[in-house]
Every structure is written in structure tokens, then in C-alpha cells.
């Protein structure tokens, strides 16, 4: 059996639609359709129900899913064993490719140091960074597009994922230096009348901030969401309002006087969770990357002692 068919099957089952699966696999939608039909013919049973709301595995498809993932993991192990340098990481450098998903703030602030260290110690190891939100990271782990993910979340409740808290990122309220709240204290009632430029929906600390602001009686905050932290920070730097961001993403702007801090209500540091798929095999390269991520975050922020 062609393992490409199994990978397409697993991706379709996890994404729930032919268009999303084609996008994830970088294939034409017609190719995904042909591969699924080929697999169904080989197995002699329908694997999916095509519904208006999406694609749902049949009973046979649901039974096949875990077994298909095990086969794909076994193939990955064979390839790793056959590749030079993919043996025990303790025996020297490792080679291969590892895909890591993380939020915009971590990709721009914390992860360059990880890449630099890995290129120095493991020059044959290629790490591909993907700037993704929580939902996309979870989907990437489930479909196999990502080997590891870093999530800025208080907890990861998905039963098929294994998470370990590696650090906490302090948050900071910031404004332009000439804003009336610059370098002074402000309570929730005062903040609730301001304009906020925050990260996109699904960002845990931004969502918590917005819920709190909107929950204040007679509050009329003006909320603008961005998919990019740079965009939110630039609007604030231009004097248009406030934002709440991981302090590491505004540290340089504060030191250079381009932004000023606001002594606002307590914003709890947001945990950094290192996440992988519970059942999927972890390659030697992914283990090395996970170890380096843990070291970097332990040295760069408040390391947590929680295990997984």
C-alpha cells in the first residue's frame, strides 16, 4: 500500500474537508479526491461520509485512523534509522527536518536563539518555523505538519496531545510616550474607555483582556484585532491606543523610548507549553529541538517545574 494514501487519509480525517486537506498537503484538491477513492477501492469500504458541513470518517474510517498513524510513524522510524546521523542523539549530531509551530511573539523573540544554537551544534538539522495560532498549531500536530508546538496557553486540554510547561512569559501594558497613561497607574474602569490594539482571537491573554474589558459595567472600549503583533505594536507606537503584549516583544521599544509602560491591573504571566502529539513517534531531531527549546526558555524567562 502506498503510504502517501495513508497520509492523505489521516490529513483528511483531521482537517475535516478536502480543501483544507489539500492545503495542508500542498496538493490539488482533485489529487486528494483521487487518492481517497484509490484507498477506498483498495480496502473495499467507504472511509468518509461527504456531508454539507464537511467530511466525517465512517465507522471503518474511524477504526483505520489510529492504525494508519501507527504505520506512518513506523515508516518515519525506518527512514530515520536509514539516514546517516539519525541515530542516538547522545552519540553526536543529528540530521533531518523538524517542523515547529509557535505564535508570532515567540517566533520573533525567543526562537532565533534556538535556531542559532541548533545550527552550531547540529548543522545537519533543519528546523522549519511556522508562525501559527493555537488552533492552527493543534491542527498541525494532529495532521503531522508539525512535530512540536509552543503554545501561550494556561493549559492544553486535548487528550491526544502531550504538553509540558517550560516557562512563563510576563506581559506588559504599553502606550506611546506622549499618551496620557504613559508611566502612570490605571485601573480597569479607566482602561475600559480606551482604544486597544490586540492580537487576534484565539490568543489566550488577548482574549482574557477583551473579556474583562467588555465585562465592566457601562464600558465602551474600542477593540481592534490583528493577526500580527508587529501591526498592533505599530498602532500603539503611533499614539492610537494601548496594547497588552509579552514583555519580551516590547523590551527594546521601551528601552529606546518608543513605547512607555502603563501600571495597569495585574496581568498574570502566560504559560509557555511545549506540545507534541501523544501517539506520534518523536524523531531524534525532534527530541534535540525539544531539549534546546527547554534550555532556552529556562534561561530566558521564568522556568516552570511542571512535567508532562
Question: 92: pLDDT confidence band, cut at 50, 70 and 90?
Answer: low
Task: Tell which wins on pLDDT, 157 or 31.
Answer: 31
The grid cell for 141 is 500536530
Average pLDDT of the chain, as a whole number: 87
Q: Are 35 and 4 in contact (CB under 8 A)?
A: yes
Instruction: For residue 220, give every residue at least 6 positions away whose Cβ sits within 8 Å of its Cβ, in sequence order, or none.
Output: 192, 193
pLDDT at 306: 37
Q: What share of the chain is helix, strand, coil (3-state, %, to 5)?
A: 45, 25, 30
Question: Which neighbouring-strand residues pair with 268?
Answer: none
Summarize pLDDT for 74-83 with one digit per residue, the tens: 887 776 666 5
Question: 88: pLDDT confidence band, cut at 50, 70 and 90?
Answer: very low
pLDDT at 241: 95
Which residues in 178-187 are b (16+ Cβ under 10 Å) and which e? ebebeeeebe
pLDDT at 80: 65
Kindly state the average pLDDT of the residues 166-185: 95
Summarize pLDDT for 265-305 with one digit per residue, the tens: 999 999 999 999 988 888 888 999 999 999 988 875 443 33
Residue 159 has pLDDT above 50, yes or no: yes
> Cα separation of 16 and 20, whole Å?
7
Residue 84 has pLDDT above 60, yes or no: no
pTM here is: 0.72
Complete domains list, the chain, with CATH: 3-82 (1.10.10.10), 93-168+271-300 (3.40.190.10), 171-268 (3.40.190.10)
Query: Kind and range of the H or E element at 20?
Result: helix 18-25
Summarize pLDDT for 225-278 with one digit per residue, the tens: 998 889 999 999 999 999 999 998 999 999 999 999 999 999 999 999 999 998
% of the chain at pLDDT higher than 90: 53
Alpha-carbon torsion angle 108, 282, 126, 109, nearest 10: 10
Amino acid at each position: 500500500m502506498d503510504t502517501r494514501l495513508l497520509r492523505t487519509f489521516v490529513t483528511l480525517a483531521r482537517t475535516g474537508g478536502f480543501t483544507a486537506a489539500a492545503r495542508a498537503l500542498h496538493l490539488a484538491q482533485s489529487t486528494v479526491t483521487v487518492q481517497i477513492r484509490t484507498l477506498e477501492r483498495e480496502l473495499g469500504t467507504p472511509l468518509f461520509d461527504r456531508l454539507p458541513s464537511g467530511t466525517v470518517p465512517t465507522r471503518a474510517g474511524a477504526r483505520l485512523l489510529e492504525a494508519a498513524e501507527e504505520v506512518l510513524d513506523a515508516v518515519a522510524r525506518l527512514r530515520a534509522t536509514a539516514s546517516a546521523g539519525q541515530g542516538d542523539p547522545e552519540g553526536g549530531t543529528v540530521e533531518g527536518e523538524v517542523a515547529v509551530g509557535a505564535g508570532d511573539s515567540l517566533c520573533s523573540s525567543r526562537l532565533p536563539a534556538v535556531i542559532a544554537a541548533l545550527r552550531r551544534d547540529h548543522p545537519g538539522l533543519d528546523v522549519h518555523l511556522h508562525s501559527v495560532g493555537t488552533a492552527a498549531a493543534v491542527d498541525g500536530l494532529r495532521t503531522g505538519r508539525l512535530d512540536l508546538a509552543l503554545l501561550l496557553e494556561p493549559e492544553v486540554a486535548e487528550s491526544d496531545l502531550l504538553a509540558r510547561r517550560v516557562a512563563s512569559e510576563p506581559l506588559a501594558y504599553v502606550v506611546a510616550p506622549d499618551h496620557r497613561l504613559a508611566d502612570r497607574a490605571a485601573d480597569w474602569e479607566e482602561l475600559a474607555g480606551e482604544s486597544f490594539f490586540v492580537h487576534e482571537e484565539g490568543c489566550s491573554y488577548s482574549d482574557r483582556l477583551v473579556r474583562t474589558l467588555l465585562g465592566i459595567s457601562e464600558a465602551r472600549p474600542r477593540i481592534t484585532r490583528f493577526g500580527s503583533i508587529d501591526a498592533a505594536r505599530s498602532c500603539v507606537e503611533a499614539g492610537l491606543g494601548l496594547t497588552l503584549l509579552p514583555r519580551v516583544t516590547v523590551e527594546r521599544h521601551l528601552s529606546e523610548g518608543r513605547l512607555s509602560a502603563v501600571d495597569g491591573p495585574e496581568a498574570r504571566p502566560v504559560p509557555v507549553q511545549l506540545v507534541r502529539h501523544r501517539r506520534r513517534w518523536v524523531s531524534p531531531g525532534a527530541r534535540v529541538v525539544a531539549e534546546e527549546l527547554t534550555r532556552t526558555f529556562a534561561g530566558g524567562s521564568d522556568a516552570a517545574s511542571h512535567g508532562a
